[in-house]
Amino acid sequence: MSARIVQPEGVDLVTTLREAGATSGEPRDGRRLRVVLVLKTSEGGLWTVPHVDELRARGHEVVAILPPARGRLRQALEVRGVRVVDSAFDFRFRPTLRTLRGLLGLRRQLRDLRPDVVHYHLYASALAARLSTAGMKLCRAHMVAGPLPLESPLIRVAERALVRLDTVTICGSHHTAHLYRRLGRPRSRTPSVPYGVDVESFTPFSPRLRAAVRADLALDEGTFLAIMVAYVYAPKRLAHRSRGIKGHTVLLDAWREFHARNPRSHLLLVGSGFDPASERYRRELVQRYGLDEDPAVSWLPSVPDVRPYYAAADVSVSPSLSENHGSALEASAMGVPCIVSDAGGLPETIDVTTGWLVPAGDAEMLTIALDAAYAEFRGGRLPARRDRARERMVHHFDRRHAAAAVADIVERAAEGRLATRLTRSRPARP
């Protein structure tokens, strides 16, 4: 029995645009657009910042509507001089008059801003933007951060109708694009563009940095180090049989068996709970698996910079039950081979030369993949995978080219000329 491996096929949109001459920051002919970004968070969503930078570099005006709380996204936009408006809607959909008043307030804000384009990410933001702009003559550009909403049968039914309100639905992976096309959304309206990774910040590590971090972790060079970087999300009753979507329990189950056979190994988990409920769930996992007393597992709730820990690692593991591309992009950009599940867009992040693919939720197959990575570690064969992993990120997932692709699509959508030639890519297949 061996871990199943995927070879993604087709040419992705980012590569197509780059080869066609789409350069980040390149001015475009045509009118100056006012783009209003609508997002349900002031803290997360930092992956939108490169898109904002690219649109502004092309001469377009960007205004953001965010919740009033302070957060990293709001600060990043304000530092850039982007106007940020406190949302009149709290992005909570409940059958109350408060929800209706909030949506009407958001509608007034958008009407007063007179946007050419409303650009939104995350499903609650999409619902709010679509409903509050009903009947307005403007361009609606929805960028889909991940496939999770479409994994709900109820949302799929609703989305079949609601997605028609989008002028364009920019899908963060080939997988998500495929899901929308199955709902009847045409290929010309569902281009696939990854959020990408900063390949200039996430670069291959130096041996000195690797040695220093491993020393801090009390690990020598002969110890195999696997890393998982992900927030912890509390299980949802109606999603994935009440299991956390990042697959922490899958990895912890697999690790018990793997480490029992390979004692010169260590697992490093990095990431706190996304919210208070999720942090309680993380602490429950620590207790359930006895991690406080397990010298083979370390869990760092949060770190200011994850790159040194990637530098120390031999393999990155993404055992998610639902995912877009996740941390596999950052790990691969730093030259760390990846073991990923076949959930969502994760298979698109690797090929047979860079990593291993296992069925989502299958601890036994994940153990086998860890065995395979460990054998290559012991045999000195992992460095070849590191180089190829880095090359794949630079070629397919450079966020500069991804941001240029998003800006190009937004411009074309606003001008009413979505080009089908830009969406001729195929979802990855096993």
- 27, pLDDT greater than 60: no
Report which residue type is found at 131: L
Least confident of 29-33, 137-141, 199-203, 346-350: 29-33
Q: Decide if 221 contacts 215 (C-beta within 8 A).
A: no
Closest C-alpha among 356, 317, 35, 75 to residue 168? 35
Q: Where in the chain is the domain with CATH 3.40.50.2000?
A: 13-196+398-423, 207-396
Q: How confident is the model at residue 417 (pLDDT cuts 50, 70, 90)?
A: low
- 44, pLDDT greater than 90: no
Mean pLDDT, the chain, as a whole number?
Answer: 89
Helix axes 363-379, 248-261, angle to 10 degrees: 50
Residue 31 confidence (pLDDT):
81
Half-sphere exposure of 238 (CA within 13 A, CB side): 8
Q: Read off the pLDDT of residues 169-206 as tens digits, 9 standing for 90 and up.
A: 999 999 999 999 999 999 999 999 999 999 999 999 89
Give domain 207-396's CATH number out of 3.40.50.2300, 3.30.540.10, 3.40.50.2000, 3.90.1150.10: 3.40.50.2000
First vs last Cα of the chain: how many Å apart?
17
Residue 14 confidence (pLDDT):
45
Q: Read off the pLDDT of residues 299-312 as tens digits, 9 standing for 90 and up.
A: 998 888 999 999 99
Residue 411 confidence (pLDDT):
96
Q: Read off the pLDDT of residues 376-416 as tens digits, 9 standing for 90 and up.
A: 999 999 999 999 999 999 999 999 999 999 999 999 999 88
Listing from the earlier edge strand, what are the strands of the sheet with 139-144? 83-86, 61-66, 34-38, 117-121, 139-144, 168-171
- 21, pLDDT greater than 50: no
- 323, pLDDT greater than 80: yes
Residue 429 confidence (pLDDT):
37
Residue 237 confidence (pLDDT):
66
Domain 13-196+398-423 fold is: Rossmann fold (3.40.50)
Residue 427 confidence (pLDDT):
36
pTM of the model: 0.86
